[in-house]
Amino acid sequence: MNKLIAFFLIIISFGLFSENKTSHLETIVLGSGCFWGAEKGYESLNGVYDAVSGYSDGFGIRPSYREITKFKNKFNDNNFAEVVEVTFNRQVISLESILQHFYEQHDPTQLNRQGNDIGTQYRSIILYNNDLQREIIDKVTNEFQELLLTAGYGKIQTQIKPLDRFYKAEEYHQDYIKKNPNGYCPDHSTGVVFDKSEIPVIDNTILQEGKYILVIDSEDYCPYCEKFKKDVVNNYQGNIPVIYRTGRELSGLSIKTPTWATPTIVFIEDGIEQFSYQGYMEPELFYKALGKFKLGNTEAYDVAFNKGTDARFCKEYQIFKNTPDGIFVDKLSGAPLFDTRDRFVSRSGWLSFTAPVPNSTYEVPDNSYGMRRTEVKSVSSNIHLG
């Protein structure tokens, strides 16, 4: 005979991680004169994961600050350029936005200089990684050229090339302005800016009260997102809502976990992340996390995942023994488990049924404690039923 119990589950640690994820981190290498101020500018952008000062696009000399600043290399066409390697989460900020910032923060019409910084090391340059980046670069460059011409400026001198290799600059150059707040950081911008249309902000007010399962999805194709939706979300009928957002739609929420991997499943309460999981979650792992989130570390949790046993004639038994006709469901997945029409009085002190709802449970041999028994588990959430 099967007995119905409460459905809870085990504690898991914060920030669990899976290899089954789609990364949305992307890099671009940009040179716009002195890299100190440029690095600081990129780091201020929401969605930029990292900005590293360095050298690129040189040949025949050593990529070091001492070497590229020698007088003999000042007008050497093979000199390395001061550049910044920008790593960004394209779910939060687009390459187009990065490039708009690049053009707005310096004067790309100057050749081999920015203001009083003169020499080939200060050339304006974009070094791309693939053809798709090149298409976006050409689009943004052409748009800015039109804006510059309208404002009375000349032709853009920015070099656009495929990236060969990036060399990280010496450590004292990294975060230079942060270490030296009064350090050299001139403004060479033209004052010409792009006309940026406002992106509507998603209203997350509803997520700031109560519990929600927040799935951070991709704006483009993400195979593991589709698999999670197919294997878990499409079958989920629980009463904690599943809400989808992209990385740029989290306004008003307190999310600690980086959003560059999708899917990222975040369990939030009153708008605040409680814990999360990066990458694809198989159904069993998802329901373990959901159980912790929904009901915590209780006796019922022990029953559901540690094969514990609730007391005979417990409070739940008294509540449910005389319920009207209806269906008992899995408290986590919401899937139907037992029909009250199959209930009978076993006098065991536990709710008992002659049969489950078809295809809702499965049985596992249990030979623990020197006994031969049969364990009944839920198909949907894999929790222990009796």
Tokens of 5: 């119990």
The Cα–Cα gap between 193 and 144 comes to 8
| 43 and 52 Cβ atoms separated by less than 8 Å | no
Residue type, 176: Y
Task: Report cis status (omega within 30 of 0) of the bond before 263.
Answer: yes
| 47 and 88 Cβ atoms separated by less than 8 Å | yes
Sign of the Cα pseudo-torsion (168, 169, 174, 176, in order): negative
Buried b (16+ CB within 10 A) or exposed e, 267-305: bbeebebebbbbbbbebebbbbbbbbbbbeeeebbbbbb
Neighbours of 243 (CB within 10 A): 15
Q: Is 34 known to be catalytic?
A: yes
DSSP codes joined into one string, 247-314: TT--TT-B--S--SEESEEEEEETTEEEEEEES---HHHHHHHHHHHHH-SSHHHHHHHH---PPTT-
Distances (CA, A) of 97 to 42, 92, 103, 105: 11, 10, 10, 12
* Residue where the block lists tokens 């000399």: 61
SS3 43: helix
Q: Is 233 exposed, middle or buried (0-12, 13-18, 19+ CB in 10 A)?
A: middle
Sort residue 267 into left (φ over 0), alpha (ψ -120 to 50) or beta: beta
| Active-site hit among 34, 185, 222, 314 | 34
* Residue where the block lists tokens 């976006």: 136
Which residues belong to the active site?
Answer: 34
